[in-house]
Structure 1
């Protein structure tokens, strides 16, 4: 059975580009090993991540993340079984939103997802858009 968890969290520190790239490399390697797909977004000292895969792997990965001292205020937004993967073709992507060009690229991907006309995909798209909008307002 496939499952997805989407969470948001605060970073305990301002992450450097180098630290974020290392974090992403480790996450991608671990997630590939456990056949987890999804996306990781970092914006303004906050993370939003979507994990997809078999229930045991997704739950174990989320548990490790929630115990990671680099995160605080980990909040699970979506925790449901799914009939198919949304991010299967995205191969666990990573986005650092630093400027309007990167934000536009993310929106292009989200728009592609929205056109898939998948209810869960649309929920994730709306959540990512709200996440970014809220972070913009707090800057």
Structure 2
């Protein structure tokens, strides 16, 4: 069974750019081996992440995420079964978005999901729009 989890959290203020890059590389490598797709958005001091894949793998990864000291104040937005993957065609399947142009690119991708009636497309679009308008 497939599942998606979406959450946002606050980045620990002591993390430097090298630690963030290491976090991304570690996340991408682990998720690639577990066939987990998704997107990780970093905007200022906030992480927003969508992960999707086999339910057991997603639950295992999310448990590790919740215990990770590199971020705090995790707010779970979505934790649902899905019938198909939304992000398996999104670039390298997993990426960090750090600038506004890339965030608009993600918004365009999610708008396409919504127009093609992918599950949770409307919710993901709303969250991305909120990120775009938050200072």
Please confirm whether the aligned pair reaches a TM-score higher than 0.5, indicating the same fold: yes
Q: How does 1:81-92 map to 2 (within 5 A)?
A: 81-90=81-90, 91-92=93-94
Gaps of 5+ in 1: 97-101
Q: Hey, what does 1:94 align to over in structure 2?
A: 96
The reply to whether residue 52 of structure 1 matches residue 52 of structure 2 is: yes
- TM-score norm. by structure 2 comes to 0.88
Question: How far apart are residue 17 of structure 1 and its match?
Answer: 2.4
Structure 2 residue ranges without an equivalent (≥5)? none
Shift of residue 86, structure 1, vs aligned partner: 1.0
Instruction: Provide the C-alpha distance between the structure 1 equivalents of 2:16 and 2:67, rounded to a whole number of angstroms.
Output: 21
CA-CA distance at 1:47 after TM superposition = 0.5
Match of 2:111 in 1: 114
- Bigger proportion of residues as helix: 1
1:72-112 C-alpha deviation (Å, 9 max, x unpaired): 1111101111111111112111112xxxxx31232123213
Of 100, 104, 119, the match for 2:101: 104
* Number of residue-to-residue matches in the alignment: 130
TM-score scaled by structure 1?
Answer: 0.86
2:36 aligned partner: 36
CA distance in 2, matches of 1:41, 1:15: 16
Structure 1 outlier segments of 4+, above 4 Å: none
Q: Given the alignment of the two structures, is residue 73 of structure 1 paired with residue 73 of structure 2, yes or no?
A: yes
